[in-house]
Amino acid sequence: MNSTHKAFAVAAIFFGLALLAGCAHIVDFDVSPRTICPDEQVFATWDVGAGQTKLEAKAPLEGLGVKPQQGRQSFSLASSTTFTLKTVAPFHSEQREMDVTVLAASSMSRFGEIAHCEADTAAPTVSFVVSDKDVSRASRALVVRNPYTRPITVQKDGIEVTLAPKMETDHFKDISMIGAWTIRAAVGQGETCSAALHDVGERLIFRTQLGCAGR
């Protein structure tokens, strides 16, 4: 092999390595549920196209560090943290972050979605589903609060509560957060549904203090 051939071979090897190393690319990274009760487990799953893969967290947890390009791992958490998946390759690096909230006495959240009027004589309504990918099955809505200056009605699992403006209820504290919820806003006398919808900013939410079953 003469020197020209050697140079070509070296270049080809570098090119091949670069291709093999490729661009770091995270195909998927998830941690669920993202809201849990203390000492519950979360599952981290990841799939990385290329590059060295590293799983980090702000909390001191065992089992972090360099990982294979695909994997799934559970962690038991006592406090909230951020998981970060990093991939490093010669030409490109990437990272994604996932926060996990461990419920504490003061954990306030909002739930809701964009609302609709079925007809102008109806009331602005929204239905949405809270998934166990997002919130632990053990979580409970200890308090549900109406943030509006008009009454709203909140409904789940056969329980329906009408909340006066800015008022709250504990009627949902014994049922899971997981599942389908409905919120309906009251319409004033002579007010159309679309006017009421506009007044609530086209969306309906409730604020809630989340807690854990049996704690």
Binding residues (CB under 8 A) for another protein: these are 26, 28-29, 34, 82, 93, 95-99, 101, 109-114, 116-117, 128-131, 133-134, 147-148, 181, 198, 200-205
In the bound complex, what is the minimum distance in angstroms from residue 167's beta carbon to another protein?
15
Q: Closest CB to another protein among 135 and 212?
A: 135
Distance CA 176, CA 132 (A): 10
Distance in angstroms between the alpha carbons of the first and the last residue of the chain: 75
Q: Closest CB to another protein among 138 and 210?
A: 210
In the bound complex, what is the minimum distance in angstroms from residue 178's beta carbon to another protein?
11
- From start to end of the chain, where are the E strands? 26-32, 35-36, 41-48, 52-57, 65-67, 70-76, 81-89, 92-102, 108-114, 125-130, 139-145, 152-156, 159-163, 168-169, 179-185, 203-212
In the bound complex, what is the minimum distance in angstroms from residue 63's beta carbon to another protein?
21
Q: Closest CB to another protein among 3 and 163?
A: 163
Q: Closest CB to another protein among 138 and 152?
A: 152
Q: Closest by alpha carbon to 26, among 101, 89, 99?
A: 89
Distance CA 183, CA 113 (A): 9
In the bound complex, what is the minimum distance in angstroms from residue 104's beta carbon to another protein?
13
